[in-house]
Copies of this chain bind each other. A is one copy, B any other.
Amino acid sequence: MERQQNEIQKVELVGIFAASTAHKIRNPLTGMKDLVTLLKEKYTQEQDQFYYFVIGQEIECINEIVSEFMILGKPTAIIKKV
């Protein structure tokens, strides 16, 4: 029972934490994205372009994971059958 209480408190904490974490991760991600775009426009060699493309994809990948993560932080809706 004590353990259950702990787990419930943890869920609430995770909810708050998930939202703030998502923002914390998205802020540096956005900063990175802007700098990479800037450098990608500056260095147009084929190999560099490929590197920047891959970096851009990794950024997008993390962005998607963060979006998925936020779903679990949201409270559960109870649908009552009438």
Query: Contact residues of A with B, CB < 8 Å?
Result: 2-4, 6-8, 10-11, 13-14, 17, 21, 24-25, 28-29, 31-32, 35-36, 38-39, 42-43, 48, 51, 54-55, 57-59, 61-62, 65-66, 68-69, 72, 76, 78
User: B54 touching A17 by the CB < 8 A rule?
Assistant: no
Query: With A11-B10, A51-B35, A55-B32 known to touch, is A21 a contact of B65 (CB < 8 Å)?
Result: yes
When A and B form their complex, which 10 residue pairs have the shortest distance between CB atoms, in order from nearest? A28-B58, A7-B11, A6-B76, A32-B58, A28-B61, A35-B51, A11-B11, A7-B8, A14-B14, A24-B65
Q: How many angstroms from the CA of A38 to the CA of B39 in the assembled complex?
A: 14
